[in-house]
Amino acid sequence: MDATIIGYKIETPTTMYEDNQRAIEIAKNPRFHNRIKHIDIKFIHFIPERIVSNELKVVHCNSNDMLADVMTKALPKDQFPKLRKLLIIDKF
């Protein structure tokens, strides 16, 4: 996969970290999941097409290490400093 996006050459697939095993299953094979029947068909196939074309790689990430959680939800007292440190903003 060689693509150019906004003037930058992309040579490797973008990695998307996901802590939900069911979401990973749906991303890899959406056809048999009745939980997604309410989603427009063009959106259902977008991620699997990117995986097949090697533009995207979906990888499981343990929920305790999900860096996005520091910005999106309330966390346990010990979890917040751990994830904040991973963001490299502890110096400020």
pLDDT for the residue numbered 71: 84
Q: What is the number of domains present in the chain? A: 2
Same domain, 57 and 70: no
Per-residue model confidence as pLDDT tens digits over 33-88: 666 777 777 777 888 888 998 889 999 988 888 888 888 888 888 888 888 888 87
Same domain, 74 and 90: yes
Closest CA to 41 of 56, 49, 18, 20: 49
pLDDT for the residue numbered 60: 93
Encoded tokens for 50 = 């990117």
Same domain, 73 and 47: no
Same domain, 45 and 86: no
Same domain, 87 and 75: yes
Same domain, 42 and 8: yes
Domain ranges, residue 32? 3-61
